[in-house]
Amino acid sequence: MAFEWAYFFSLFSVQAFWKACLTVVQLSTLAWTLGLVLGFLLASAKLSPHAWLRLPAGLYIWLFRSIPLLVLLVFVYNLPQLFPAAGGILSQPFYSGLIALVLTETAYMAEIHRGGLLSVLKGQREAAKALGIRGVGEQRLVIIPQAIRISLPTLTNEYVTIVKLTSLVSVISLNELLLVGQRLYAQNFLVLETLAAVAVYYVLIVTLFGWLLQWAERHLDLSRKTARTLEPAQADALRPPATPGKPRCAPVAGQPDALRLRDIHKRYGSHEVLKGIDLAVKPGEVISIIGPSGSGKTSLIRTINSLESIDRGEIVLFGVDYIQAGKRADANVIRQGIRRIGMVFQNFNLFPHRTILDNVMLAPRYHGVASTAQLRRQGLGLLDRVGLLAHAHKYPHQLSGGQQQRVAIARALAMEPDIMLFDEPTSALDPELVGEVLNVIRDLAAEGMTLLIVTHEMDFALSISDRIVFMENGHVVTDASPAAIRQAGDPRVQRFIGLDVVGQAAETAL
């Protein structure tokens, strides 16, 4: 029997098919959108540390990934037999089909979102917390945009799957493409031609919306962004008026310490990394914390801005009780304290989905520090200060490591902190890039900023620091000025720094 081409082509002018196409588009788009939103909430619940959220979410995903959609469709459509009050909605095939599809797709999309959320680096969350951005703000500004970018290819594929799954809704008599086709070939018995036309309609829908979603994917692909380095004239036009730097001031007598750590203990499981640390930091002091790997240096400064909890002891910030072990933390005090402390991480932890100007402006804008126009001027001024004004509209991946670290410093300074913490700021850099970062830190020290620097750059530490704190095995072994360490310091510390202890002894004897 020959294929009836004339009949096949005539089916593309049948109004019932185009109405059915609209029904498929509406049903699949609504199911995808609702599944997208509900799936994200479900994924967040499954990743929650709270069992009362995590366990029900896991149970939902297990159940609705296990039940065949066809069974669920029939079940939902017939629910009015058990709950007559639901008959007004569920007796309509469109709404029954939509509910069944959303129940199923929420479970699948939750796993897609979970993969995206797990792919966002831990450092992104830590950077947000260090800037005082937490909870909904952290999710909205930092986590969700990155997770969606990661998940979008799979989410696009899931839309295609939903479009094809709408054909199953014909089982409850929804007037969609397959059911229209079935009714036609039941009358004329031209099954092959009718189903071929139905297939073409599905291909058209999938192709059109596939292009739209692929366009969104390409638009969000940061690797396609063109690097935009401003010309000198453009940079000059953006440059805010210069303001004189603050001269370094000596501490005022009777002024409270900028920071005081008392008997700080911290353990991870059975491993104790901090064993009773006491440290006082005066306003304007520059302290370098050095020591072998595993001595507790990074853990120490991470407790200062609440990235790590303490098991014993207390931290006082400018005379105010800030963090106390064993006591319920006052969230407002912690939040205000974090805003006074800037943090620069070893691996930069810039937000990759935002330009470097947006990175600098994000935290002050979130906290409502000033108007957008004022924050933009401030951000441009900070980028100019670290020598990156011409790169204001680039993304982090378009910069070198040294440039990214300077952006990270500008981002921390945007909150106008009283104390800056640096966690190995140059260890992830090539040797030729180290100098540009250290020069920015030197400028901060010269301006009177209180600095705590974890570093392995010994010459830098000796040249910039008021005090050197040497840590080993969770203890502070030495806390002294660079001059004191050079002249009469612990030989162990001198060897670590690289001083010629034998040569110094011989020189002293002479």
Is 395 domain-assigned? yes
Q: Kindly state the tokens that stand for 254.
A: 């009777």
| Nearest residue to 420 via CA among 389, 387, 397, 443 | 443
**Most confident segment among 85-89, 112-116, 456-460, 495-499:** 112-116
Is 240 domain-assigned? no
Q: Kindly state the tokens that stand for 459.
A: 């010459």
**Residues 459 and 331 both lie in one domain:** yes
| Ranges 156-160, 380-384, 503-507: which has the least confidence | 503-507
Q: How many CA atoms lie within 13 A of 69 on its CB side?
A: 23
Is 334 domain-assigned? yes
What is the pLDDT of the chain when averaged over all its residues?
Answer: 88
Is 253 domain-assigned? no
The parent domain of residue 99 ranges over 5-220
* Backbone φ and ψ of 315, nearest 5°: -125, 125
**How many other C-beta atoms lie within 10 A of the C-beta of residue 3?**
11
**Residues 156 and 288 both lie in one domain:** no
Q: Kindly state the tokens that stand for 297.
A: 């240096």
**Residues 304 and 424 both lie in one domain:** yes
Convert the pLDDT of each residue in 348-377 to its tens digit. Answer: 999 999 999 999 999 999 999 899 999 999
Give the pLDDT of residue 436.
86
Residue 130: pLDDT band with limits 50, 70, 90: very high
Chain-centroid distance of CA 276 in Å reads 33
Give the pLDDT of residue 243.
60
Is 456 domain-assigned? yes
**Which among 220, 248, 281 is the end of a domain?**
220
Q: Using an 8 Å Cβ cutoff, are 218 and 168 in contact?
A: no
Residue 433 CA to residue 384 CA, distance in Å, equals 18
Is 245 domain-assigned? no
Cα dihedral 14/15/17/20 (nearest 10) = -170
Is 129 domain-assigned? yes
The total number of structural domains that make up the chain = 2
CA distances, 108 to each of 51, 274, 391 (Å): 21, 44, 41
Give the pLDDT of residue 251.
53
Give the pLDDT of residue 503.
43
Is 236 domain-assigned? no
User: Exposed/middle/buried for 189, CB within 10 Å: 0-12, 13-18, 19+?
Assistant: exposed
Single pTM value for the model: 0.85
**Which among 193, 220, 247 is the end of a domain?**
220
**Could you identify the residue written with the tokens 């004339």?**
6
Give the pLDDT of residue 128.
94
Q: Domain holding 172: CATH number?
A: 1.10.3720.10
Q: Mean pLDDT throughout 207-214? A: 86
DSSP letter for 397, please: G
Residue 244: pLDDT band with limits 50, 70, 90: low
Give the pLDDT of residue 254.
63
Choice between 329 and 370, residue whose per-residue pLDDT is larger = 370
**Pair type for strands 286-290 and 450-454:** parallel
**How many other C-beta atoms lie within 10 A of the C-beta of residue 392?**
23
Q: Using an 8 Å Cβ cutoff, are 380 and 388 in contact?
A: no
Q: How long, in residues, is the chain? A: 510
Please give the share of the chain, as a percent, with pLDDT higher than 70: 95
Residue 505: pLDDT band with limits 50, 70, 90: very low
Convert the pLDDT of each residue in 408-462 to its tens digit. Answer: 999 999 999 999 999 999 887 888 788 888 999 999 999 999 999 999 889 899 9
Q: Mean pLDDT throughout 320-333? A: 83
Is the pLDDT at 250 greater than 60? The verdict is no
Residue 390 CA to residue 232 CA, distance in Å, equals 7
| Nearest residue to 409 via CA among 451, 468, 469, 354 | 451
Q: How many CA atoms lie within 13 A of 390 on its CB side?
A: 8
Convert the pLDDT of each residue in 477-498 to its tens digit. Answer: 999 999 998 887 788 888 888 8
Residue 229: pLDDT band with limits 50, 70, 90: confident
Residue 128 CA to residue 119 CA, distance in Å, equals 16
**Residues 216 and 281 both lie in one domain:** no
Give the pLDDT of residue 502.
41
Strand partners, 266: 274
Q: Mean pLDDT throughout 251-257? A: 68
**Residues 206 and 287 both lie in one domain:** no
Is the pLDDT at 240 greater than 80? The verdict is no
Q: Domain holding 371: CATH number?
A: 3.40.50.300
Is the pLDDT at 196 greater than 50? The verdict is yes
**Residues 312 and 388 both lie in one domain:** yes
Is the pLDDT at 228 greater than 90? The verdict is no
**Residues 24 and 102 both lie in one domain:** yes
Concatenated DSSP letters for 167-227? GGGGGGT---HHHHHHHHHHHH--HHHHHHHHHHHHHHHHHHHHHHHHHHHHHH-GGGSPP
| Nearest residue to 79 via CA among 52, 97, 65 | 97
**Residues 214 and 265 both lie in one domain:** no
**Residues 383 and 489 both lie in one domain:** yes
**Which among 168, 197, 220 is the end of a domain?**
220
**Residues 189 and 265 both lie in one domain:** no
**Residues 146 and 269 both lie in one domain:** no
Residue 228 CA to residue 405 CA, distance in Å, equals 19
**Residues 467 and 401 both lie in one domain:** yes
